[in-house]
Structure 1
C-alpha cells in the first residue's frame, strides 16, 4: 500500500505536473528508443544537489553501467528533487513511473518497516561496524525486504553520521535540547529519538528547512556534514555538535516493476555497476567531509565535541523499548554481534 501524503506540497504539485511526462517517456519514448537505438534508458530521481558526494556516487554508477552494457542500458539522472521528495519518488517507483531512486534508509522504513532498525541511535560503533552489517547477510536481507513493497534495494551508500546543529545556542548535553524545535525526517524513529533526548521533534521536508530556520519555525536540525554544507544551513546555524547519534545509510532502490523487465544479463550489469559505485562513493564522502570542514571553519561555525555517553545513555531508553518487540530484539542483537567480532 502506498502511504498517503497529508497536503499538496510544492514538490507534490511539481510531481503532478511532471508525472504525465515521465510516464509518456518511459512507456513510449524509452520503447521507441529501444527499437531504434537498441538501448534502455532508466530514470533515476533523487533529492540531493549535484555537489553532494552521494550524487557523485550516482554518476559513478551511471558511468559504470554505461561501460558494462556498452551503452545498451543507461541512467538518466534527475537530482535536486526535480521529481519530488524522497517519499514521493518512492511512490513513483511503486507505480512504475520511475525506475530508480536514492533515499535515506529512514525514508525506506516508512514503506518497508524492516529498515527501521538502521535508525536506532548509537547502534553502530563506527563506520566499519556499519558496513560490515550492510555488506553482510543482514544488509542483503534488508535490501531484499523492500521487494515485498515493490521497492528492490540495490546497494547502500555511505551517509556518514548525523549530529545536531542549531541557530541560537550550542548543544552540549541532552538537557540543552529542552524547549528546542528540531527538524527531523518524516520518520517515526527520528521523531522518537529527538523526543527521547529532550528536544521537540518537528518533521519537515528537507527542501523547506532553510526557510524554516530563517523564520525561526525550528531552532535547529540534525544531519551529516555534507548535507549541512550543500544545503547552506551553515549560513544560518553556527553551532554544530558532533554527538553522532545515528549512522543512517542511503539506499539505492529500483522499482520491482522495472527489475522484472530486465534480462539476467541486464540485472548483472546493474548490480555490478552499483557495487563498484559504492566503493567510489565512500571515497567521495571522505574527501567531501574533509573539504566541508574547512568551509565551516572559514564560515566561523563552532564545533562542539560533547561527551557522547550522555546522549547514548539517554537514548538507550528508546532502544530498550524497541527490544520489547521480539523481531527487533533479534535484529539488534545480530547487529551488535557483528560489532563484537
Structure 2
C-alpha cells in the first residue's frame, strides 16, 4: 500500500472518529453546555517525528497520565512519523477539528500566528537555558494565548536545541561558505530570508522530503537540530555539520479549539496542567537522546566544526532589525534579550 493511500485511509478513519465528538460538542454548545463528564473520549494527536523522538514521548506521557487520572475515560491516540501528513496539513486539520492535538515546529506557525516569529529570529537566544527561561515565563504565556485568535489552543512549548547547517559539500565556517549552496529550510519567511542573507539558495520543503532531495542532488544540505539530523538519518547523505546555532526556535503543542471546548471544564484544566507538566519530561528525554545522537553521527564519520559566530550574527542583523521594527515583535524581542 502506498504512503498516500495509507494516509487517506488514516485520515478517513480519523475524520469518522472525530465527527461524532464534534457533532456532540456542537449540540452541547447549542444547549449552552459541554459534552457529558461520563462520556469516554479518545483524542487524536500527531507528530512528524519518529516514535522515540522526545516530543512524541512527551505526548505519549500526556496520554498515559490522562488515562490514569480519568480511569480510562480520556485517552490519546498518537500518530507519529508523519502518518497523517506534514506539519502544515496538521495545523489546518487541528484548526478545523479533524484532529485534536499536534506538535509542530514554531517556524511553521509564523505566518498565521505572528507572535511565534519572535521565537524564531536568528540569534535571539544565546542558549537552550536562555530559551527555557523565556518560554517558561510571560513571553511563553503570551505566545500560547495568541493561538486562540485562529481556532487553536496553545498547550505547551517544547524546546528543540540549536539549529545548525549541514551539507554534502564542505565544512561551513563563514557565511561565505554557504554561497551558492541549495539549502532546505522550513516553510517560514524568517528561515527563507535568513538563508538568502547568508548567500545560499533557500529551498522550502518538508522534513520527510529532505533525505531524497539531498541524495538526488536537488539540494546540497539543510538546517535543523542534532536530534532531528540523527533521527531522520540525514547524516547518511550529508557529511558536514557546522555549529552555527543560528536559531533555537522551539516546538509547540497545540490543540483544536473546538475539541478543547467540547471537554468539560475539569477535563480542560487537567489537560492543560498535564501538557505543562510534560515539558520537563520532554526536556529530560531530549538531553539524553541528543547526547546519544551526537555521538552516533560522530561515530558514523560526520565532520563537525565550530564557526565564526560573530560573522554569522553580523550577517543576520538586517533581518533582526527589520523584525524589531514591528511593535509586537520588537517588544517580545526586548523581553527575550532581557532574560539573556
Q: TM-score, with normalisation over the residues of structure 2?
A: 0.92
Q: Does 1:161 align with 2:153?
A: no
Following superposition, the deviation at residue 43 of structure 1 comes to 0.3
Distance 1:324 1:126 in 2: 24
Following superposition, the deviation at residue 29 of structure 1 comes to 7.9
Distance 2:317 2:136 in 1: 26
Greater CA drift, 321-330 or 69-78? 321-330
Following superposition, the deviation at residue 282 of structure 1 comes to 0.2
Partner of 1:281: 282
Counterparts of 1:290-329 in structure 2 under 5 Å?
290-329=291-330
Distance 1:15 1:146 in 2: 27
Following superposition, the deviation at residue 285 of structure 1 comes to 0.5
Deviations 1:117-137 (A, max 9, x none): 111000011112111111111
Deviations 1:252-283 (A, max 9, x none): 10000111111111012111211221111101
Distance 1:91 1:14 in 2: 19
Q: How many residues align?
A: 328
Partner of 1:47: 48
Partner of 2:20: 28
Structure 2 runs not aligned, ≥5 long: 25-34
Distance 1:30 1:262 in 2: 10
Partner of 2:199: 198
Is residue 156–residue 254 contact of structure 2 (8 Å, CA) maintained in 1? yes
What is the SS of the residue equivalent to 1:268?
helix
CA RMSD of aligned residues (A): 2.0
Following superposition, the deviation at residue 110 of structure 1 comes to 2.7
Partner of 1:98: 99
Partner of 2:336: 335
What is the SS of the residue equivalent to 2:241?
strand
Following superposition, the deviation at residue 326 of structure 1 comes to 2.6
Partner of 1:255: 256
Deviations 1:205-248 (A, max 9, x none): 11111100000000000000110001010011111011100001
Structure 1 runs not aligned, ≥5 long: 1-9
Distance 1:14 1:138 in 2: 40
Counterparts of 1:68-87 in structure 2 under 5 Å?
68-87=69-88
What is the SS of the residue equivalent to 1:47?
coil
Distance 2:6 2:104 in 1: 18
Partner of 1:267: 268
Deviations 1:142-200 (A, max 9, x none): 10101111111100112111000011111111000000011000110110111111111
Is residue 69–residue 269 contact of structure 1 (8 Å, CA) maintained in 2? no
Task: Pick closer, same or farther for the CA change 1:336–1:25 going to 2, 3 Å.
Answer: same
